[in-house]
């Protein structure tokens, strides 16, 4: 067995019953749009892009339970891949990331308008017109391993003021262009267009089942809503950014397993800096080595699977 698959982490947060939120007001289950009645941006808080990443569910249920209403514009709250969420099994907690197809790898027209009939793609089709309305979207995720939380976004000038305002998590990962096999939600339509104004970013809030991941998701969401003027600044001030300078990285490669014999050479968890030439993994007979200048390992897969992305490589920016 690969060293990556040996132990299960403690499960400090488990799925809440969200059935009370099933019927929203958009004609699509688990979607709620709150209108201020005043001009302003349409801002979306998106939870459960991955079914076993509970921090977004914690943040969205917090907003609903607290009765947060937008001061201006509109606020839409989405529980995205609820079918995957409802399949959570604590005995195999990594298996409910999606049902049949990764909801965060389908955001291109070929997939959305193609023949794929998986429940995950059907859900994406049901939600796409809602995401297309957004001026801004925060997509709340968590990580397999307990690595530092991170912001992930395109290196577009349009998103820099938001990224600076959020400030923390203090690891910022710039993802230039489509590098994954299948387009992630933050690169869908206008989000991925540097000339269009809508912005989207991912926050990886920590390990999937850690209590702190839910707390970080709430905190960063409140600062996100404050940036767009949707909540009072003194409320957001109760959720301050962490002190310290962000560490910035740029993703240079996203590696996809070509065989079912992909093996890491060490139990990497993410953010290891490896010298140029280091043997990171083997994929069948192929060796995966760090580029000459060295690299930082980002989000190695716990269970590498043929045809899926299994690892990103990044360069630290000065």
Q: Which residues bind Zn ion (CB under 5 A)?
A: 50, 53, 141
- 70 closest CA partner among 45, 87, 52: 45
* Cβ atoms of residues 85 and 55 within 8 Å: no
**Considering beta carbons, is residue 142 or 219 the nearer one to Zn ion?**
142
Closer to Zn ion by CB, 32 or 141: give it: 141
Which CB sits closer to Zn ion, 141 or 171?
141
Q: Name the residue nearer to Zn ion (CB basis): 34 or 220.
A: 220
Q: Tokens for 312, please give them.
A: 């990103």
Provide the minimum distance between the beta carbon of 309 and Zn ion in the complex, in angstroms, as a whole number. Answer: 12
User: Nearer Cβ to Zn ion, position 50 or 167?
Assistant: 50
Nearer to Zn ion, 96 or 219 (CB): 96
Q: Are 312 and 204 in contact (CB under 8 A)?
A: no
Shortest Å, Cβ 147 to Zn ion:
13
Q: Which residues, 6+ apart, have CB-to-CB distance to 312 below 8 Å? A: 179, 251, 253, 254, 255, 297, 298, 299
Smallest distance, Å, CB 242 to Zn ion? Answer: 21
Nearest CB to Zn ion, comparing residues 50 and 153 = 50
Whole-angstrom distance, CA of residue 279 vs CA of residue 308? 20
In whole angstroms, the minimum distance from the beta carbon of 257 to Zn ion comes to: 18
Specify the pairing of strand 31-35 against strand 74-79. antiparallel
**Contact by Cβ (8 Å): 128, 43:** no
In whole angstroms, the minimum distance from the beta carbon of 249 to Zn ion comes to: 18
Q: Which residue has the tokens 């905190």?
A: 219
Q: 213 with 13: CB under 8 angstroms?
A: yes
Q: Considering the complex, what minimum distance in angstroms separates the CB of residue 243 from Zn ion?
A: 27
Residue nearest Zn ion, Cβ-based: 141
- Smallest distance, Å, CB 53 to Zn ion? 5
Instruction: Write the CB contacts of 112 (distance below 8 Å, at least 6 apart in sequence).
Output: 106, 121, 124, 125, 128
Q: For strands 295-298 and 309-316, give the pairing.
A: antiparallel
């Amino acid at each position: 067995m690969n060293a990556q698959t040996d132990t299960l982490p403690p499960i400090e947060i488990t799925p809440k019953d969200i059935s009370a939120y099933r019927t929203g007001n958009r004609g699509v289950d688990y979607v709620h749009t709150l209108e201020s009645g005043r001009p302003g941006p349409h801002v979306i808080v998106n939870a459960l892009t991955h079914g076993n990443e509970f921090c977004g569910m914690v943040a969205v249920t917090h907003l609903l339970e607290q009765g947060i209403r937008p001061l201006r514009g509109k606020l839409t709250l989405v529980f995205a891949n609820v079918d995957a969420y409802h399949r959570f099994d604590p005995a195999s907690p990594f298996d409910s990331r999606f049902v049949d197809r990764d909801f965060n790898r389908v955001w291109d027209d070929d997939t959305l308008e193609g023949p794929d009939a998986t429940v995950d793609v059907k859900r994406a089709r049901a939600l796409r017109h809602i995401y297309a309305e957004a001026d801004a979207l925060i997509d709340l995720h968590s990580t397999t391993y307990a690595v530092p939380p991170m912001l992930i976004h395109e290196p577009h000038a349009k998103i820099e003021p938001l990224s600076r305002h959020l400030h923390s998590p203090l690891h910022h990962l710039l993802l230039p262009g489509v590098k994954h096999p299948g387009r992630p939600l933050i690169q869908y339509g206008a989000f991925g267009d540097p000339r269009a104004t809508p912005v989207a970013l991912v926050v990886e809030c920590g390990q999937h089942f850690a209590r702190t991941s839910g707390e970080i998701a709430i905190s960063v969401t409140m600062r996100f809503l404050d940036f767009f003027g949707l909540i009072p600044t003194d409320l957001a001030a109760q959720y301050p950014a962490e002190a310290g300078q962000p560490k910035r990285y740029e993703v240079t490669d996203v590696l996809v397993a070509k065989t079912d014999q992909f093996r890491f050479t060490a139990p990497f968890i993410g953010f290891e800096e490896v010298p140029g030439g280091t043997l990171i993994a083997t994929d069948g007979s192929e060796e995966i080595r760090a580029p000459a200048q060295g690299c930082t390992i980002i989000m190695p897969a716990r269970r590498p699977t043929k045809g899926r992305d299994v690892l990103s490589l990044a360069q630290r920016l000065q």
